[in-house]
């Protein structure tokens, strides 16, 4: 199918085509770009670098109810989620974040051996409208970890911002079906396509950070006890901002909220992070990752060594959020560079 | 004199002091700031050799409170007998105050910590500038005269330094560390108490309960409970924060508004008479939540109720470590 | 600490208290309703739960239903808790597994006009009580052995009296005096009011009794070097002439007295012509007073900004000495310049009357216009005359206060007891526990606490001894089990910030040699201030644990099931 | 969690108040009010604690969060504490809690601190009446 053109003043019309979806799009809240469910297309921010919190928060929210329960006498009645068939559309997802859903889905299914029904069902019901990254940030390095500022494959529909209009390309079957229905979309001209190509080329050139993920993977294996980890941990404050803003971090904690008056309760999962000492604390009181050294190491090992071992992919999409927002300026890029320098 | 010259001067004398301490083996290590990898950032660094002192820098983005790296208690720093580790800490006023207060709370021994004082000239509110620049990437920041110049791919903006430093810095009365128990080298001052005026709080305090509630909830609603504020806070050194406790479970851990509010509320209670107003919490918040209001109020409660300002003395006990027959009790319910 | 999880089985007994409760609310239906509460397996209403029948019913209930928690909803724990506790204890249930719900004093009696609301309230109170009961833990009272020995610090008249009293009761007693001679201020005094007995006579008899007493060991020119341990079991080091002696002591009495104040720079004091009352005593004792014009000035160095207190003995000392001078030389002119004269009680007031009769002249001065001691005359402003009076003198006697000893601080630190602002020792409670310290097993008497005269010193010496002997007259000591503790599983919560140490009224918390918080169970009274001040709630307050109180808070609607 | 629904529309809303009373003074004072048959509104539910110093800020805030409309904390008068200085520590803590709550926009009247001795049954009742009135006027606690 050939590419289409969506004028920016047609966004409202485009939005209306998704009436049976929960429409999530980037909005500006107090200066932060966040993916929120919108009811008015005017709320959508079209001109943004990337969201502060990745769109993973839609499918894997900071707080998610797993099930609810209620006491009846001594019996417990479990009420499962009944909203898992809801459909979602994520508009304006950057290619790195679009790719992250695949990485997260890997975790939540573990080769089909251990499936998280809630996440996977939501993922299945989600349509991703990706958007090419015309101006990647200085902190971006998607090209080193299997991505690209114009990588389309992880989106169902892919948009390229041409200024006044978007070049629309349907990627998946789901996407094609939808675009086909939107007969009002104009066809793209060769000039449009040419411009998109140029933008893609320019964007890729703007990414200056290059790391060798494969090499790092090999080095990490042999350097579990390398002094570099102490160095990395030295300035870390141990907050976990990196994990909370990471599009591929999947750690969660499960808690129980019990309402003592109605005797009803909920089992909830909330974001957690391996940077928190409590995360790895065992019931016995033993903590296998007692200090920041082990915890900092774990986060990097997980992305660049354990994940590749499990799924043959790097567990990082190179979005640069952890680089930009680390309070201690513990720059992942520099750390990876240093690891690369370790002599094996 | 412009900011650059000021900073250069501070930097040079700080390096000189650090070099001397290391050379004379008075300290084993110096914790300081080094150049960050991003505009408007800096990084904490530990140096152990005198030849590395030139890596230490000072600029107006040194927002982390370095005292936070001294807690939880490092055994060697507490016990002079085990004291095989002596540390110098590059200290703006609030870092020095934090170290002194940590001493009062038994977290370290001042015999083992040298406060390398510097006269801080204010920390730039980077979150505010980021917000004002909006969806453009800041690639370069410099200071010139009394201006902060922010540059990106296709823009350049200027901000007045005095206006764009952290609110706590605007109110700061302790720019260089108090000299307590001769723990201070470099730039420090004799200071017993500070008078402060809280007119900056007046507008908020005049609000009705309902309005205050709305204001606070609006301020905090974006909190993701990542706890960066807590981790960057030199006074939040609990091994297991009350929100993380589960025996019993006191308060919810989710990002429900009530859980967010109660976290900040109890944290504020815990910080009365302890907060050193460094503003690190605000500087590190990934969501750009400005906690200035809370900091100022917490300071004010300690000052108004107990005439106490944290981190000025190793002798005066902070409010919750002390009590008096004569404390005010105007809030007690009385018969009409 | 994991024991096999025992099923919680709660029994609830609802008392009618005759018509006191039953007359307002339907106890039967409350008891019936209580069956619906979590963990409750048995309920019953009784006419009088505290009666023989009621107690028998509790016992029967416990036995037949294997109850391991018992709740009585009735009057008030302040009167009846011990009774019910011992009742279930007889049935083998730990007494701390009993919980009281107050539905009379705090419910039916105060809501007599709103019985329906009292009914609902009773139910909710019981629900809260059940919620707490489910969380109760068995506790044991702590038994410690006591050593039947006493240490008295200071061998003045108070200390000697206390030591003799202890020794006479048969306790091995150790009396430590820093001076070379025992007797304290008796050594410098001439006569003692109100009997006008010679001080030396009293001292002689005391010394004899001390020497004769085989239970009493005296250490002169000695001091206490260190004090460790706690009530019943203090480890003491006494240093005498460079030798250190170690003792195990059951109780300690502090009788260090007070010091004389030298009024350097005040009223041209020179120790010759212008002396203190204490110096006058020595002159009188040696019969060296030849002056015929004596002016005494009261409140010298006391009741002023830096020493606000009244030294309490000086008025009487001045009166006694004035009379003494008059007696020896009736022609002598004695003038007393005073701010206020305190002569309480009949004996003391009698002294004042006699002094007036003997011709002692009393002139009031105001603190704003202090008398001025010139070379040969004292200038004092008289309010009534509105002018200065000039009094010639050949001797000026300054009535100076007793002040606290300089080494009080060291002793206070060793004993972990407080000093007040003037450096005197501070008792546990001025009215309720005047001879006790907050620290158990340590007592106080005499001028160490406050300037007192000989009579009062003797009385206090006896009083302190009698308080102290209540402890060591038993071979063991039972300490409340509901105390605070820092259990092993909470160790990781403790950051060592020392806030608990600073707020503990009993100095029961300290840091041990490993720099870890140590709570001395024997000293703890379970007030819970430490636990609530600890930002981390690391400290567990037994019987009022966080969990227990939280369960009461959450049992709001009577639904809390202990999740 | 808020429990704001009244049982019936016609019934007037009354607040639920949790009262932490120290064992030695205020609990005894409450008993004395009973012995003297001094009536006060039936809204308070008393929790016995050893000392007002035992009352942690957590108890107060947890109570408000869990739907109690108000909190009363009562201890011995300063200088009369059974535990010497427990109430003085408590007073500092309460001042701080009160200031912070007010700052967060939680009406200060929700949390009432008072002193009542074992001999002050009358005073106890009067102050409970007063606290109940204050809390009632504030209405049901908002969810937070």
Structure confidence by residue, pLDDT tens digits, C148-198: 999 999 999 999 999 999 999 999 999 999 999 999 999 999 999 988 899
Q: What does the block give as tokens for B62?
A: 């040194």
Query: Which residues does D contribute to its contact with B (CB < 8 Å)?
Result: 57-58, 61-62, 65, 78-79, 85, 88-89, 91-108, 112-115, 123, 126-127, 130-131, 142-144
- The yes-or-no verdict on residue A128 having pLDDT over 90 is yes
Task: Please check the confidence at residue A344 and state whether its pLDDT lies above 70.
Answer: no
> Which two three-digit tokens encode residue B200?
């900056």
pLDDT value at residue D111? 96
> What's the mean pLDDT in C418-446?
90
Query: What pLDDT band is residue D7 in, cutting at 50, 70 and 90?
Result: very low
Partner-chain contact D34 C109, CB within 8 Å:
yes
Domain boundary at C139, C174, C204, which? C139
Kindly state the average pLDDT of the residues C465-488.
Answer: 92
Q: Is residue C560 assigned to a domain? A: no
Structural domain boundaries of chain B?
A: 199-319
D130 within domain boundaries: yes
The answer to whether C499 faces chain D, any CB pair under 8 Å, is: no
Tell whether C153 is covered by a domain: yes
Whether residues A259 and D3 touch (CB distance < 8 A) is answered with no
If you average pLDDT over every residue of chain C, what do you get? 93
A318: phi > 0 → left, psi -120 to 50 → alpha, else beta; which? Answer: left
Predicted pLDDT at A258? 82
What does the DSSP 8-state code read for residue A343?
-
Is there a contact between C82 and C41 (Cβ–Cβ < 8 Å)? Answer: no
Q: How far apart are the first and last CA of chain C?
A: 20
- Confidence grade of residue A1 (pLDDT, cut at 50, 70, 90): low
In a domain, C207, yes or no: yes
C364 burial type by CB count under 10 A (0-12 exposed, 13-18 middle, 19+ buried): middle
Instruction: Note whether C240 and C111 are same-domain residues.
Output: no
CB contact under 8 A, A329 and B37: yes
Contact B210 D101 (CB under 8 A): no
The per-residue pLDDT for C355 is: 95
Whole-angstrom distance, CA of residue C497 vs CA of residue A263: 39
**Which residues on A lie below 8 Å from D67 (Cβ)?**
261
pLDDT digits (tens, 9 = 90+) for B251-298: 888 999 999 999 999 999 999 999 999 999 999 999 999 999 999 999
The β-bridge partners of C218 are: C175
Residues C300 and C397 in one domain: yes
ipTM confidence score: 0.91
Asked whether the predicted pLDDT for residue B1 surpasses 70, the reply is: no
Residues C337 and C429 in one domain: no
Q: Which two tokens stand for residue C424?
A: 């005197």
Domain assignment present for residue D39? The answer is yes
CA–CA separation, D53 and C534 (whole Å):
11
Binding-site residues on chain B for chain D (CB distance < 8 A): 205, 207, 209-216, 242, 250-251, 257-258, 261-262, 265-266, 268-269, 272-273, 294, 297-298, 301, 305-306, 319-320, 322-325, 327-329, 331-336
Q: Which long-range contacts (CB under 8 A, 24 or more apart) does C490-493 make?
A: C490/C538, C490/C539, C490/C540, C491/C516, C491/C538, C492/A285, C492/B239, C492/B240, C493/B238, C493/B239, C493/B240, C493/B245, C493/C536, C493/C537, C493/C538
pLDDT given at position C258 = 97
The answer to whether residue D113 scores a pLDDT higher than 60 is yes
Helices of type H across chain A: 11-16, 56-59, 95-109, 117-124, 173-181, 190-206, 213-222, 228-235, 241-244, 277-280, 292-301, 307-311, 321-325, 332-341
Query: In sequence order, what E strands does C33-189 have?
Result: 40-46, 69-74, 98-102, 142-145, 149-153, 172-176
Give residue D79's pLDDT. 86
Is C563 within 8 Å of A258 when comparing Cβ atoms? yes
Asked if C502 and B317 come within 8 Å (Cβ–Cβ), the reply is yes
Query: What pTM was estimated for this model as a whole?
Result: 0.87
Chain B residues touching residue D56 (CB < 8 angstroms): none
For residue B105, which residues of chain C lie inside 8 Å, CB to CB? 495, 497-499
Residue % of chain C over a pLDDT of 90: 85
Range of the domain at D35: 14-138
Residue C252, strand partner residues: C151, C442
pLDDT of residue D29: 95
Q: What are phi and psi of B139, to 5 degrees?
A: -110, -20
Give the pLDDT of residue D142: 83
Q: What is the C-alpha to C-alpha distance for residues B268 and B251, in angstroms, rounded to an integer? A: 15
Omega of the bond leading into C10 within 30 degrees of 0 (cis): no
Q: Tell me the pLDDT band of C142, cut-offs 50, 70 and 90.
A: confident
Return residues 53-112 of A near B (CB < 8 Å).
53, 62-63
**If we measure between CA atoms, which residue out of C374, C312, C325, C319 comes closest to residue C350?**
C319
Tens of pLDDT, residues C57-96 = 999 999 999 999 999 999 999 999 999 999 999 999 999 9
- The residue of chain C with its CA nearest to that of A283 is C489
Q: DSSP labels for A267-299?
A: EEEEE--TTSHHHH--TTS--SS-SHHHHHHHH
C395, C371: one domain: yes
* Contact (Cβ atoms closer than 8 angstroms) between residue B325 and residue D77: no
In a domain, C5, yes or no: no
- Tally of structural domains, chain C: 4
Largest CA distance in chain B: 72
In the predicted model, what is the mean pLDDT of residues A139-167? Answer: 96
Query: If you search the block for the tokens 């910080």, which residue do you land on?
Result: B271
Q: Which residues of C touch D16 (CB under 8 A)?
A: 556
Q: How far is A278 from chain B (nearest CA, A)?
A: 8
Residue A124: name the closest of A139, A100, A105 by CA.
Answer: A105
Q: What is the pLDDT of residue B170?
A: 95
The answer to whether residue A165 scores a pLDDT higher than 80 is yes
- Asked if A260 and D66 come within 8 Å (Cβ–Cβ), the reply is yes
The pair of three-digit structure tokens given for residue C282, joined into one six-digit string: 């020595």
pLDDT in the model for residue C563: 36
Among C139, C166, C185, give the residue marking a domain's end.
C139
Task: State pLDDT tens for residues A188-211.
Answer: 999 999 999 999 999 999 999 999
Cis, bond preceding A338 (omega within 30 deg of 0): no
The answer on pLDDT for C473 being more than 90 is: yes
Report, in this order, helix, strand and coil percent for chain A, each rounded to 5: 40, 20, 40
Closest approach of D55 to chain A, Cα-based (Å): 22
Q: How far is C111 from chain B (nearest CA, A)?
A: 21
**Is D63 a member of any domain?**
yes
Evaluate whether B320 touches B298 at the Cβ level (below 8 Å). Answer: no
Interface check D4 vs A, CB under 8 A: no
CB C423 within 8 A of CB C448: no
Distance CA(C486)–CA(C492), nearest Å, equals 10
Q: Give the span between the Cα atoms of A245 and A54, in whole angstroms.
A: 6
The pLDDT of residue C1 is 38
Q: Which residues partner with D75 through β-bridges?
A: D115
Give chain D's domain count.
1
A312 burial (CB, 10 Å; 0-12 / 13-18 / 19+) is exposed
Tell me the pairing of strands A75-80 and A63-72: antiparallel
Separation CA C29–CA C42 (nearest Å): 14
pLDDT at B145: 87
Q: Which residues of B touch D57 (CB under 8 A)?
A: 266, 269
Position C337 confidence tier, pLDDT thresholds 50, 70, 90: very high
Query: Is residue B226 a contact partner of residue A327, using CB atoms and an 8 Å limit?
Result: no
CB-CB contact of A27 with A185 (8 Å): no
Residues 6+ apart with CB under 8 A from C39: C8, C9, C10, C69, C130, C133, C134, C562
Selecting from D34, D66, D89 the residue whose C-beta is nearest the C-beta of C110 gives D34
If 0-12 CB within 10 Å is exposed, 13-18 middle and 19+ buried, where does residue A105 land?
Answer: middle
CB atoms within 10 A of CB D5: 9
CA B226 from chain centre, in angstroms, equals 18
Asked if C48 contacts C106 with a C-beta cutoff of 8 angstroms, the reply is no
pLDDT the model gives residue B80: 65
Distance CA(C327)–CA(C354), nearest Å, equals 11
Does A291 have pLDDT greater than 70? yes
Residue of C528, C533, C547, C560 best to disrupt the D interface, most CBs of D under 10 A: C528
**CA C253 → CA C153, C165, C174, C177, C462, distances in Å?**
6, 12, 10, 13, 11
Instruction: Say if residue C248 is in the same domain as residue C320.
Output: no
Asked if C2 has any chain B CB less than 8 Å from its own CB, the reply is no
Give the pLDDT band (50/70/90) at residue C561: very low
Q: What CATH number should be reported for the domain holding residue D127?
A: 3.40.50.960
- Answer yes or no: do C398 and C411 share one domain: no
pLDDT classification of A284: cutoffs 50, 70, 90: confident
Please provide residue C535's backbone torsions phi and psi, each rounded to the nearest 5 degrees.
-60, -25
Q: Is C225 exposed, middle or buried (0-12, 13-18, 19+ CB in 10 A)?
A: middle
3-state secondary structure of B79: coil
DSSP state of C454: H
Q: Is the Cβ pair D104, B213 closer than 8 Å?
A: yes
Pairing verdict, β C540-541 and C216-219? unpaired
Residue in the structure block whose two tokens are 């453009």: B136
H/E stretch holding B138:
strand B138-144
Instruction: Mark residue C167 as left, alpha or beta (left: phi above 0; alpha: psi -120 to 50; beta: remaining).
Output: alpha
Other CB atoms closer than 10 Å to residue C466's CB: what's the count? 15
Grade residue B216 by pLDDT with cuts at 50, 70 and 90: very high
Q: Answer whether residue C560 shows pLDDT above 80.
A: no
The CA–CA distances, whole Å, from C348 to C313, C321, C325, C421 equal 11, 13, 18, 29
| Enclosing domain of residue C392 | 262-402
Contact D105 B261 (CB under 8 A): no
Going by pLDDT thresholds of 50, 70 and 90, the confidence category of residue D1 is very low
Q: Has residue B206 got a pLDDT over 70?
A: yes
Share of residues in chain B with pLDDT > 70 (%)? 98
Clarify whether residues C18 and C122 are in a common domain: yes
State residue C559's pLDDT score.
Answer: 40
Going by pLDDT thresholds of 50, 70 and 90, the confidence category of residue C481 is: confident
**Which residue of chain C comes nearest to A264, CA vs CA?**
C559
- Which residue pairs, CB below 8 angstroms and at least 24 apart, start in A185-191? A185/A4, A185/A5, A185/A6, A186/A4, A186/A5, A187/A2, A187/A3, A187/A4, A187/A5, A188/A2, A188/A3, A188/A4, A188/A5, A189/A5
CA C549 to chain centre: 30
């Amino acid at each position: 199918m050939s590419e289409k053109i969506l004028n920016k003043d047609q966004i409202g019309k485009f939005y209306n085509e998704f009436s049976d979806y929960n429409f999530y799009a980037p909005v500006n809240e107090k200066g932060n770009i966040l993916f929120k469910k919108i009811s008015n297309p005017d709320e959508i921010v079209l001109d943004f670098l990337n969201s502060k919190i990745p769109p993973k928060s839609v499918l894997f929210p900071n707080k998610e109810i797993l099930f609810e329960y209620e006491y009846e006498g001594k019996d417990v009645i479990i009420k499962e989620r009944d909203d898992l068939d809801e459909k979602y559309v994520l508009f304006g997802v950057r290619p790195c974040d679009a790719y992250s859903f695949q990485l997260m889905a890997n975790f939540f299914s573990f080769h089909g051996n251990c499936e998280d029904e809630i996440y996977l069902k939501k993922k299945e019901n989600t349509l991703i409208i990706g958007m090419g990254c015309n101006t990647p940030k200085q902190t971006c390095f998607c090209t080193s970890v299997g991505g690209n500022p114009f990588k389309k494959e992880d989106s169902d529909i892919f948009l390229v911002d041409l200024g006044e209009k978007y070049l629309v390309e349907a990627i998946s079957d789901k996407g094609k079906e939808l675009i086909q229905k939107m007969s009002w979309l104009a066809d793209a001209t060769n000039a449009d396509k040419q411009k998109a190509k140029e933008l893609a080329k320019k964007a890729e050139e703007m990414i200056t950070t290059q790391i060798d993920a494969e090499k790092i993977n090999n080095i990490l294996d042999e350097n579990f006890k390398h002094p570099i980890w102490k160095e990395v941990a030295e300035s870390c404050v141990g907050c976990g901002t990196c994990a909370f803003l990471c599009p591929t971090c999947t750690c969660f904690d499960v808690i129980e909220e019990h309402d003592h008056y109605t005797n009803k309760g909920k089992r909830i999962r909330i974001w957690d992070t391996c940077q928190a000492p409590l995360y790895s604390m065992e019931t016995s009181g033993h903590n296998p990752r007692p200090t920041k050294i082990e915890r900092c190491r774990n986060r990097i090992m997980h992305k660049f060594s354990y994940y590749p071992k499990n799924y043959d992919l790097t567990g990082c999409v190179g979005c640069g959020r952890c680089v930009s927002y680390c309070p201690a300026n513990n720059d992942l890029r520099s750390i990876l560079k240093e690891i690369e320098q370790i002599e094996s | 004199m412009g900011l650059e010259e000021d900073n250069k001067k501070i930097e040079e004398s700080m390096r000189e002091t650090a070099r001397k301490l290391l050379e004379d083996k008075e300290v084993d290590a110096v914790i300081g700031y080094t150049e960050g990898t991003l505009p408007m950032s800096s990084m904490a660094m530990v140096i152990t050799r005198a030849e590395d002192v030139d890596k230490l820098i000072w600029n107006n983005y040194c927002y982390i409170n370095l005292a936070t790296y001294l807690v939880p208690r490092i055994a060697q720093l507490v016990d002079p007998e085990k004291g095989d580790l002596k540390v110098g800490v590059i200290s703006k006023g609030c870092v020095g105050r934090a170290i002194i207060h940590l001493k009062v709370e038994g977290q370290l021994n001042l015999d083992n910590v040298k406060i390398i004082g510097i006269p801080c000239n204010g920390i730039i509110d980077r979150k505010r500038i980021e917000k004002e620049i909006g969806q453009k990437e800041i690639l370069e920041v410099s200071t010139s005269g009394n201006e902060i110049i922010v540059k990106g791919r296709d823009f350049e903006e200027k901000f007045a330094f005095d206006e764009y430093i952290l609110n706590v810095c605007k109110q700061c009365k302790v720019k260089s560390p108090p000299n307590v128990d001769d723990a201070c080298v470099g730039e420090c001052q004799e200071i017993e108490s500070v008078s402060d005026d809280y007119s900056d709080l007046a507008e908020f305090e005049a609000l009705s309960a309902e309005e205050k509630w709305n204001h606070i909830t609006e301020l905090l609603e974006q909190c993701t409970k990542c706890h960066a504020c807590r981790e960057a806070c030199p006074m939040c050194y609990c091994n297991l924060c009350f929100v993380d406790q589960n025996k019993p479970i006191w308060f919810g851990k989710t990002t429900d508004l009530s859980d967010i509010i109660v976290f900040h509320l109890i944290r504020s209670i815990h910080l009365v008479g302890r907060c050193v107003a460094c503003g690190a919490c605000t500087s590190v918040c990934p969501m750009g939540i400005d906690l200035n209001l809370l900091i100022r109020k917490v300071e004010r409660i300690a000052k108004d109720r107990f005439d106490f300002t944290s981190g000025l003395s190793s002798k005066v006990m902070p409010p919750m470590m002390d009590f008096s027959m004569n404390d005010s009790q105007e809030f007690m319910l009385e018969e009409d | 600490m994991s024991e096999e999880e025992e099923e919680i089985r709660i029994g609830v007994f609802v008392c009618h208290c005759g018509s006191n409760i039953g007359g307002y609310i339907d106890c039967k239906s409350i008891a019936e309703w209580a069956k619906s509460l979590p963990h409750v397996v048995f309920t019953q209403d009784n006419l009088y739960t505290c009666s023989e029948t009621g107690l028998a019913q509790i016992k029967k209930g416990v036995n037949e239903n294997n109850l391991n928690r018992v709740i009585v909803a009735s009057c008030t724990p302040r009167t009846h808790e011990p009774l019910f506790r011992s009742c279930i204890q007889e049935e083998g249930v730990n007494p701390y597994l009993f919980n009281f719900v107050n539905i009379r004093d705090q419910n039916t009696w105060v809501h007599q006009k709103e019985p329906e609301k009292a009914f609902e309230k009773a139910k909710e109170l019981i629900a809260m009580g059940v919620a707490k009961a489910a969380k109760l833990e068995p506790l044991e009272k702590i038994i410690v052995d006591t050593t039947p020995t006493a240490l008295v610090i200071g061998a003045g008249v108070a200390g000697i009296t206390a030591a003799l009293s202890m020794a006479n009761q048969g306790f091995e007693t150790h009396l430590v005096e820093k001076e070379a001679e025992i007797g304290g201020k008796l050594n410098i005094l001439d006569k003692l009011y109100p009997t006008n007995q010679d001080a030396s006579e009293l001292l002689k008899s005391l010394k004899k009794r001390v020497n004769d007493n085989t239970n009493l060991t005296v250490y002169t020119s000695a001091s206490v070097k260190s004090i460790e341990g706690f009530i019943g079991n203090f480890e003491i080091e006494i240093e005498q002439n460079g030798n250190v002696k170690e003792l195990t002591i059951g109780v300690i009495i502090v009788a260090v007295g007070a010091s004389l104040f030298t009024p350097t720079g005040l009223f041209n004091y020179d120790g010759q012509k212008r002396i203190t009352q204490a110096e006058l005593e020595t002159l009188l004792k040696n019969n060296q007073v030849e002056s015929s014009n004596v002016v005494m000035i009261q409140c010298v160095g006391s009741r002023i900004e830096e020493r606000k207190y009244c030294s309490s003995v000086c008025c009487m000392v001045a009166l006694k000495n004035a009379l003494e001078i008059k007696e020896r030389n009736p022609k002598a002119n004695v003038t007393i310049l005073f701010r206020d004269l305190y002569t309480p009680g009949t004996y003391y007031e009698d002294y004042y009357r006699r002094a007036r009769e003997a011709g002692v002249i009393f002139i009031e001065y105001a603190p704003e216009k202090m008398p001025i001691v010139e070379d040969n005359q004292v200038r004092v402003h008289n309010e009534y005359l509105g002018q200065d009076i000039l009094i010639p003198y050949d001797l000026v006697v300054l009535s100076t206060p007793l002040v606290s000893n300089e080494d009080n601080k060291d002793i206070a630190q060793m004993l972990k007891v407080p000093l007040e602002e003037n450096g005197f020792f501070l008792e546990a409670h001025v009215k309720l526990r005047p001879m006790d310290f907050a620290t158990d097993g340590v007592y106080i008497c005499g001028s160490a606490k406050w300037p007192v005269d000989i009579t009062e010193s003797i009385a206090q010496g006896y009083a302190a001894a009698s308080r102290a002997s209540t402890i060591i007259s038993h071979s063991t000591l039972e300490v409340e089990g509901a105390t605070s503790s820092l259990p092993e599983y909470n160790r990781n919560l403790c950051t060592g910030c020392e806030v608990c140490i600073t707020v503990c009224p009993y100095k029961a918390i300290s840091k041990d040699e490993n720099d870890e918080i140590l709570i001395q169970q024997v000293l703890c009274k379970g007030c819970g201030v430490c636990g609530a001040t600890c930002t981390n709630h690391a400290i567990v307050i037994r019987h009022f644990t966080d969990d227990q109180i939280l369960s009461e808070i959450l049992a709001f609607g009577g639904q809390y099931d202990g999740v | 969690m808020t429990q704001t629904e009244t049982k019936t529309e016609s019934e007037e809303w009354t607040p639920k108040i949790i009262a932490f009373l120290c064992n030695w003074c205020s609990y005894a004072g409450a008993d004395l009010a009973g012995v003297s048959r001094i009536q006060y509104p039936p809204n308070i539910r008393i929790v016995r604690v050893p000392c007002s110093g035992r009352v942690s800020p957590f108890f107060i805030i947890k109570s408000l969060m869990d739907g109690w409309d108000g909190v009363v904390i009562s201890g011995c008068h300063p200088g009369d504490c059974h535990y010497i200085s427990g109430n003085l520590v408590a007073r500092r803590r309460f001042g701080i809690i009160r200031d912070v709550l007010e700052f967060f926009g939680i009406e200060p009247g929700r949390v009432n601190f008072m002193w009542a001795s074992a001999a002050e049954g009358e005073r106890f009742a009067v102050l409970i009446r007063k606290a109940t009135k204050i809390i009632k006027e504030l209405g049901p606690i908002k969810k937070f």
